[in-house]
Amino acid sequence: MVLSQKDTIQVLDLTNQFMTAVKEQRYADAAMMLHEMKADDPFAQPELLDNEQLKSVLQRLKAFPIYDYTISDCIFKEAFDNEVRCKVVLFPKTDKEDMRPNVTTWYFKPVRYLGEWKLCFRSSAQGDRTFHSSAQ
């Protein structure tokens, strides 16, 4: 895959649009930006999430509202195997003695299909997985 600066800009813009929507609690807008790759066919067209998957994603996004985020890394390998990491701050720490963890990492898998970038989630623990309401 030949990449240009234009690809990097498009992927970063797409990720920022998603994360900004989540930060502003526009969860439905964010969830509707996500696509799913078929686990058994990495070259298939990324598809929008179905209603059940959207419901599952909405529940997860609402359960963990974010305070802030930064894109910490962007790795391009090929059209169907890329990664964007976002450092997500769940709440501000105002007390130095507060030992609760307030930072997590979200992994995205931007996929270029027919010249257009689509945003998919990537599971940091299990590799890529689909969106099922039973997923933890």
Instruction: Judge whether 131 lies within some domain.
Output: no
Instruction: Judge whether 99 lies within some domain.
Output: yes
pLDDT at 78: 84
Given a cut of 50, the residues of the chain with pLDDT beneath it are 124-126, 129-136
Instruction: Judge whether 77 lies within some domain.
Output: yes
The reported pTM is: 0.85
Q: What angle (nearest 5°) sits at the alpha carbon of residue 68, between those of residues 12 and 133? A: 80
Provide the CATH number for the domain around residue 25: 3.10.450.50
Instruction: Judge whether 136 lies within some domain.
Output: no
Instruction: Judge whether 68 lies within some domain.
Output: yes
pLDDT at 8: 92
Instruction: Judge whether 130 lies within some domain.
Output: no
Instruction: Judge whether 58 lies within some domain.
Output: yes
Instruction: Judge whether 78 lies within some domain.
Output: yes
Count of domains forming the chain:
1
pLDDT at 123: 52
Chain-centre distance for alpha carbon 1: 22
pLDDT at 127: 53
d(CA 121, CA 85): 10
Alpha helices in the chain (DSSP H): 5-23, 27-31, 51-63
Which structural domain, as residue segments, surrounds residue 33?
5-122
pLDDT at 1: 66
Q: How far is CA 12 from CA 7, 103, 118, 120, in A?
A: 9, 20, 12, 13
Give the number of C-alpha atoms closer than 13 A to the C-alpha of residue 103, restricted to the C-beta side.
10
